[in-house]
Amino acid sequence: MEIRVEKTNQFKSLPDMSDVKFGTVFTDHMFIMDYHEDRGWYDPRIVPYGTLDLDPASVAFHYGQTVFEGLKAYRNQDDVYLFRPDENFKRLNNSSKRLCMPEFDEKLALEALKKLIRLEERWVPSKKDASLYIRPFIIADQSFLGVHPSNAYQFVIILSPVGPYYESGIDPVKIYVENKYVRAVPGGMGEAKSGGNYAVSLIGQVEAEAKGYSQVLWLDGIERKYIEEVGAMNIFFVIDDKIITPSLNGSILPGITRKSVIELLKTQGVEVEERRISIDEVSAAYDNGTLQEVFGTGTAAVISPVGELLYKDKKMIINDNKIGKVSQKLYDDLTDIQWHRKEGPAGWSIEVD
Ligand SMILES: *Cc1c(COP(=O)(O)O)cnc(C)c1O
346 domain-assigned: no
Mean residue pLDDT across the chain? 97
Q: Which of 162, 193, 235, 262 to mutate to test the pocket of ligand 1 (most atoms within 8 A of CB)?
A: 193
Both 177 and 160 in one domain: the answer is no
Rounded Cα gap, residues 225 and 277, in angstroms: 9
pLDDT at 167 over 80: no
Tell me what the mean pLDDT of segment 289-315 comes to. 97
Total domains in the fold of the chain? 2
Residue 215 has pLDDT above 80, yes or no: yes
Q: How far is the CA of 55 from the centre of ligand 1 (A)?
A: 30
Q: Report the atom number in ligand 1 closest to the C-alpha of 257.
A: 8
Check whether residue 68 and residue 196 sit in a common domain: no
Same domain, 77 and 192: no
Which of 142, 164, 186 terminates a domain? The answer is 164
**How do residues 54-97 score in pLDDT, each as one tens digit?**
999 999 999 999 999 999 999 999 999 999 999 999 999 999 99
Nearest CA to ligand 1 atom 1: 232
pLDDT at 171: 86
| 351 domain residue, yes or no | no
- The residue whose CA has the least distance to atom 5 of ligand 1 is 255
CATH number of the domain to which 8 belongs = 3.30.470.10
- Tell me, yes or no, whether 278 lies in a domain: yes
69 in contact with ligand 1, CB cutoff 6 A = no
What is the rounded distance in angstroms from the CA atom of residue 199 to the CA atom of residue 32?
25
Task: Give the pLDDT mean for 237-246.
Answer: 98
User: 154 and 196, same structural domain?
Assistant: no
Q: Which residues contact 183 (CB under 8 A, 6 or more apart)?
A: 190, 197, 200, 201, 204, 218, 221, 228, 229, 231, 251
Report CA(1)–ligand 1 centroid distance (Å).
Answer: 30
Q: 118 and 182: one domain?
A: no
Domain that holds residue 31: 4-164
SS3 labels along 160-194: EEECCCCCCCCCCEEEEECCCCCCCCCCCCCCCCC
Residue 9 Cα, ligand 1 centroid: separation in angstroms? 36
Residue ending a domain, choose from 118, 142, 164: 164
Q: Does residue 255 have its Cβ closer than 6 Å to ligand 1?
A: yes
Quote the ligand 1 centre to 72 CA distance (angstroms): 13
320: domain CATH number?
A: 3.20.10.10
Q: Are 86 and 110 in contact (CB under 8 A)?
A: yes
Q: What are phi and psi of 232, to 5 degrees?
A: -130, 10
Q: Does the residue 219 lie in any domain? A: yes
The protein residue with its alpha carbon nearest to ligand 1, atom 10, reads: 233
Q: How confident is the model at residue 231 (pLDDT cuts 50, 70, 90)?
A: confident
Residues 135 and 242 both lie in one domain: no
Domain-located, residue 314: yes
Closest ligand 1 atom to Cα of 87: 7
Residue 244 has pLDDT above 80, yes or no: yes
348 within domain boundaries: no
Asked which of 164, 184, 208 is the last residue of a domain, the reply is 164
Question: 88 in ligand 1 pocket by Cβ < 6 Å?
Answer: no
User: Residue 170 — very low, low, confident or very high, per pLDDT cuts 50/70/90?
Assistant: confident
The phi and psi torsions of 264 (rounded to 5 degrees) equal -65, -45
Residues 20, 154 within the same domain: yes
**Ligand 1: centre distance to CA 300 (Å):** 9
Question: Does the Cβ of 234 fall within 6 Å of ligand 1?
Answer: yes
